[in-house]
Every structure is written in structure tokens, then in C-alpha cells.
Structure 1
Amino acid sequence: MNRALTVARLQFVAWPSVVGWPWGILTLSFLINLALFTSMNETIDPTPTTGGLASIYVVMFIACVNSITQDFPFAIGLGISRRNFYLGNVVSFGVQAIIYAAVLYLLSLVEEATGGWGIDLTFFGIPFLWVENPVLRFLGFALPFLLLGFLGIAIALVFKRWGVNGMLTLSTVALVVIGGAVVLATWRGWWSAVGGWFADQSGAALLVGWPALLTLPLAVVSYLIIRRATP
């Protein structure tokens, strides 16, 4: 376990990629949106909503991919086992998800208290996915971090294990599955039913329940792959 904690601390040596870039880009996105909607006439969009919050999740996804492609060979070269490297990454990313979700939760409260930063701007929340329960709202910020993090780790490990052929195979499978689903839904006229299903889901289900169910198999698959991955 000590070796796993060493790996976790190793992730923060390159702090710009795991702290600086995610929060720097989120801050820039927020300031741009704030300036944009402040300069607009209120009659154009009286209650502006933006998806700028997604930027921090995208950057953290990239950081998780980077942690495998760059840090994995270095850690194995130091004699750290694959198991400890994987556990160390899980610990470090789990801590980040908890801390970052707590900060985003507090910022959402500030946003509410200030009337959307004085202009009714919704940046740290999505109205149709809003969760009133404090615990579920916090998890609604944290679980997407974990889902995208394990997705990034899994994709990076496919590359480390099977190289370019593995990535091409993964891309082909994804294309066939997604494309096949789109064709089938169009052919059978299921799009209205699909839209209705999403509309019937609560914010807690979409931000907490489903991400939790998808994160677990990704974590298991990632662990199985890393056991045979080459640096």
C-alpha cells in the first residue's frame, strides 16, 4: 500500500496537468461566459445557461490518459508493480474527484446566492439536471469525474497493451456499435421513445446512478488490462 501511495503522490509532481490546467481552463471559460452574457442585452437571453463547466471534466479526462501513457513506463522502471501503479492512480484520481466536486458544489451555492453572479447566469449547474439533495448534488459533480477518469485510463491502457491495432479495433467496435444503434433506432422509429426515456430520468439518475453503474465495469476492465500491459 505504501508503494501505491507513492504513485499517488507522484501524480501531483506534475501539478500543472492535474491542478493548474483543469482549474485554469475552467476559470477562463467562466470569465469569458460572464463577460459575454454581461455585455448582452437581457432581452436576448434573460436567464443564460452555459455548458462551460464541462471543460474541467474534459481536461481531467485528458490528464488521466496522460498519466498512463507517460507515467506508467516511468513507474515500472522504478520497480513499482502494475497493481500498485493502478491503485495509486485510483487513489489520486479519487481524491481529486472528491476535492474538485466539493469546490464545484460550493461554487454552485455561491452562484445561487448571488443570483447567477448578478445576471442570472447558470454556469456551475444545468437546470434540467439540477439535484436539490445536497449529498446527491455533490455526487453529481464527483461521479462524472470518476466515469471520465476511468474511461481515459481504460483507453490509454488499450493503447499500452495492444498499440495502434488495439486503438483501431476499439474505434471500429465503437463505430459499429454506435452506428448500428443509430441505424436501428432510425429504422424502427425509436427516437421519440429514446428521448422520452431520457426526459423521464431524474438529474440524480443521469449524474449519479448511471455514471456509477458505468464506472465500476470500466475500473474492473482497466485493472485486468494493466496486469498484462507493457510500459
Structure 2
Amino acid sequence: MTRVLDVARIQLVNWPTLVAYPLAMPALMPLLGLLIDISNGETAIGPHENYLLPMLLGVAVTGHLQTMTQVFPFALGLGVTRRQFAAATALVVTAQAALLGSVLLAFDAVEQLTGGWGRESRIFGIGALHQDGLVAQWAVYTGPIVATSAICVLAGAVFQRWRQTGIYLAVFGGAAVLAAAGAVVATLHWWPSITGFLGDQSSLTLLAAVPLVFALASGGAAWLVLRRATT
């Protein structure tokens, strides 16, 4: 375990991308929301929502790509095993997501206390994310971050194993599979059943449980690729 923590510290050399920038993003969102309202000619007349949280995902997960493409070869050169590096990566991803989830929870509380930043605006407490209970709310914030981070780790592992060719094949192959699946579903008229099933699920399931399962699957795939990745 000590060795895994040491490898995690190596990854955190890139702390601005993994920690500082993602933490700064929520603090900027109220200002961005105000600028959006002004550009739309609005002065927050009545309650409204600004959908800025997806920007946080883009900022939070890019560091994991750098971890796989830059830190991984360096760590192997120091004698770190692939298993140790994978465990450290999982630890860093989980810790980052847990920290950001807690920060978003705090900003949601501030948003409520200030009446939506004094403008009846909802950025962190938009209706689709609202949960009763702090733990459930934290899980909804954390789930998508873990899942998106796992995708980036998998993409980085694919790059290390097969370089640009692997990335192109993964993107185009994934798009082809999705297109084929969509065609089959449309042909068999399954869309009403699928949308009905999803509509019956709680937002906690869709935004916490499903992303966690997806993250575990992506992380497992990343490990299988990483075992044979070269530097």
C-alpha cells in the first residue's frame, strides 16, 4: 500500500491539472452564469438554470490523459509495476472525484443560502440533479466525474498500447457499434420501451449507480490494455 501511495504522489506532481484547475472551476461558474445572463439580455428575472457543470468534467478529467501518456512511462522507468500504477490511478481518480463532489455540495449549499447568488439562478442545484439528502446529492455529483475520468484513463491506456491508430480505431469502431445498435433498436421499435424504462429510473440511479458501473467496466478494460502497454 505504501508503494501505491508513492506512485499516487508521483501522479500528483501534475496537481494543477488534477486538483487546482478543477477546484477553481466551480468558483468561476457563478460569474460565468452572470455573464451568460447579461449576454442574453437577462437580469435574472425569476428562477432560471445555467447548465455549466459539464464544463467541470472537461477540466477535471484531462489530467488523467496526461497521467497515462506522460507519467506512466516515467513511472515504469522508476521500477513501478503496472499493477501498482493502475491501483494508484484508481486511488487518484476516486480521491479527485470525492473531493470535487464535496466541493460541489458546498457550492450548492451556498447557492441556496444566497437565493441563487442573489439572482434566483441555479447552477449547482439544477432540478435534474436535486436529491434529498447530502449523501445522495454527493453521489450524483461524484458519479459522472468518476465515469468520465475512467474513460480518459482507458483512452490513455489505448494510446500507450496502440498509439494514434488505436485511438482512431476506438473512436470510429465505437461510433459504428452505436450506429448499428441504434439501427437495430429502431428497426425492432424498441425505443419506446427503452425510453420508458429509463424514465422509470430515479436520477440517483442514472447519475450515480449507472456511472459507477460504467467506471468499473472502463477501469477493468483499461487494466487489460495497460498490462501489455509499452513505453
* TM-score, scaled to structure 2: 0.90
Cα deviation 1:146-205 (Å, max 9, x = unaligned):
111111101110111122222222112211111123333444444444443333221101
- Corresponding residue of 2:109: 109
Distance 1:164 1:42, change over 3 A: closer
- Corresponding residue of 2:42: 40
Identical amino acids, percent of aligned pairs? 30
1:125 aligns with 2:125: yes
Cα deviation 1:53-99 (Å, max 9, x = unaligned):
11121222211111101101111111111111111111122111111
* Count of paired positions: 229
What is the alpha-carbon distance in structure 1 between the residues aligned to residue 28 and residue 129 of structure 2?
Answer: 24
Unaligned 5+ runs, structure 1: none
What is the alpha-carbon distance in structure 1 between the residues aligned to residue 196 and residue 6 of structure 2?
Answer: 47
- Corresponding residue of 2:157: 157
What is the alpha-carbon distance in structure 2 between the residues aligned to residue 221 and residue 36 of structure 1?
Answer: 39
What is the alpha-carbon distance in structure 2 between the residues aligned to residue 93 and residue 112 of structure 1?
Answer: 29
Question: Residues 44 and 120 of structure 2 are in contact (CA less than 8 Å); yes or no, is this contact kept in structure 1?
Answer: no
What is the alpha-carbon distance in structure 2 between the residues aligned to residue 76 and residue 26 of structure 1?
Answer: 35
Residues 174-193 of structure 1 correspond to what in structure 2 (within 5 A)? 174-193=174-193
Question: Residues 30 and 52 of structure 1 are in contact (CA less than 8 Å); yes or no, is this contact kept in structure 2?
Answer: no
- Corresponding residue of 1:71: 71
Q: CA deviation at 1:116?
A: 1.1
- Corresponding residue of 2:196: 196
- Corresponding residue of 2:230: 230
Single out whichever of 9-18 and 78-87 deviates more from structure 2: 9-18
Question: Residues 26 and 104 of structure 2 are in contact (CA less than 8 Å); yes or no, is this contact kept in structure 1?
Answer: no
Single out whichever of 87-96 and 64-73 deviates more from structure 2: 87-96
Classify the secondary structure of the residue corresponding to 2:100: helix
Classify the secondary structure of the residue corresponding to 1:79: coil
Distance 1:126 1:198, change over 3 A: farther
Classify the secondary structure of the residue corresponding to 1:34: helix
* TM-score, scaled to structure 1: 0.90
Q: What do you get for the CA RMSD once the two structures are aligned?
A: 2.0
Unaligned 5+ runs, structure 2: none
Question: Residues 49 and 123 of structure 1 are in contact (CA less than 8 Å); yes or no, is this contact kept in structure 2?
Answer: yes
What is the alpha-carbon distance in structure 2 between the residues aligned to residue 42 and residue 59 of structure 1?
Answer: 27
- Corresponding residue of 1:31: 31
Question: Residues 111 and 124 of structure 1 are in contact (CA less than 8 Å); yes or no, is this contact kept in structure 2?
Answer: yes
Question: Residues 159 and 167 of structure 2 are in contact (CA less than 8 Å); yes or no, is this contact kept in structure 1?
Answer: yes
